[in-house]
Structure 1
């Protein structure tokens, strides 16, 4: 179920995706500890569509 939500932006294969001018990075092959950490930050509004976020 979680992957269904992630694939909307990151692609069905997790290789990343562009939607309009937004770029979503590849998540396939990332270590589970990293993904869990980033999801925790995202759910806590610490990461995501924040004006201070920069690509790279």
Structure 2
């Protein structure tokens, strides 16, 4: 998702379109794995923020 944001910066294309396509291609078990990764304490970045979870929430991934 971060790659999509960077690649589509300055264009009229919404990254959420591609995030929805990505989500539709993932299996239910992989989406469950992403969910547990996002809520895990191991997913915090160096500033102790949940960057990955915030991106998932931004694009309403779940």
Q: TM-score, normalised by structure 1?
A: 0.37
Q: Say which structure is richer in helix.
A: 2
Using the size of structure 2 for normalisation, the TM-score is 0.34
Task: Select the structure with the greater relative contact order (CA < 8 A; seq sep ≥ 6).
Answer: 2
